Amino acid sequence: MKIILASASPRRKELLKLIYDDFEIRPSDADEALPSDLAVDKAAEFLACLKAESVEKGSDELIIGCDTVVVTDNKILGKPKDRSDCFDMLKMLSGRRHCVYTGVCIRYNNAVISFTEKTEVEFHELSDDEIAGYMDTGEPFDKAGGYGIQGKGALLVRGICGDYFNVVGLPVSALARKIDEMLKK
C-alpha cells in the first residue's frame, strides 16, 4: 500500500512522519470554494474530501486529504491576504477563545472515511505592538487564522482544550486510529 498526502503543507508532512516513514506528497488542485449554506464546523471536512477526491488515485493507494479552519463568531478565518487582514484576525482572536477544526478524508480502494477534529484555543489579550511584532516575524501569513501555534505564535496562546497537533494541521492520533479502522474492514 502506498500512502499519498494530498497537501503541500510542510507542517502536515512533518506530522504525517509520526505515523508513516514513507509516503508521497501529491498536492491537490481542488477549487476550495465553499457552498454558502455549509455550517462552519463542516467546512474543513468538506474541503478535505474535495482535496482527497481531486488527486489522481492509483491502485493500492491510500489518499489523505486535510484542511484546517479557524472559526470565531461563526466566521471562518482563512490565511491572511495581507498584513492588514492578519492584524484584524489577530485582534479578533485577542483575549478570546476560538475553535480550530481540521477535516480529514481518507480514501482507500472503494472506501472513504472522513471526520473533523475540534480544538479550542484561548488567546491572551494582545496589544497592537504584540500583534505587529508577531507579524514582523513573517510567521503568520501562510496559516489559517494568522498564527502558528508550533512557532512564535505559541506566545499568543493562553491555553488549548483538545489535540495540539490538530491546531498545527493534522490530528495524528485520530488519523492513525481511523486508518487502522479502515484497513481492518
Q: Decide: pTM greater than 0.85.
A: yes
* Count: domains in the chain: 1
Q: Strand, coil or helix: what is 99?
A: strand
Run of H or E residues at 13: helix 10-16
Catalytic member of 31, 37, 60, 67? 67
C-alpha cell recorded at residue 121 = 484555543
Residue-by-residue pLDDT tens, the chain, 185 positions: 999 999 999 999 999 999 999 999 999 888 888 888 899 999 999 999 999 999 877 788 999 999 999 999 999 998 999 999 999 999 999 999 999 999 999 999 889 999 999 999 999 999 999 999 999 999 999 999 999 999 999 999 999 999 999 999 999 999 999 999 999 87
| Nearest to 167, CA basis, from 71, 85, 84 | 71
Give the position of cell 494582545: 126
CATH of the domain at 99: 3.90.950.10
| Catalytic residue flag (residue 67) | yes
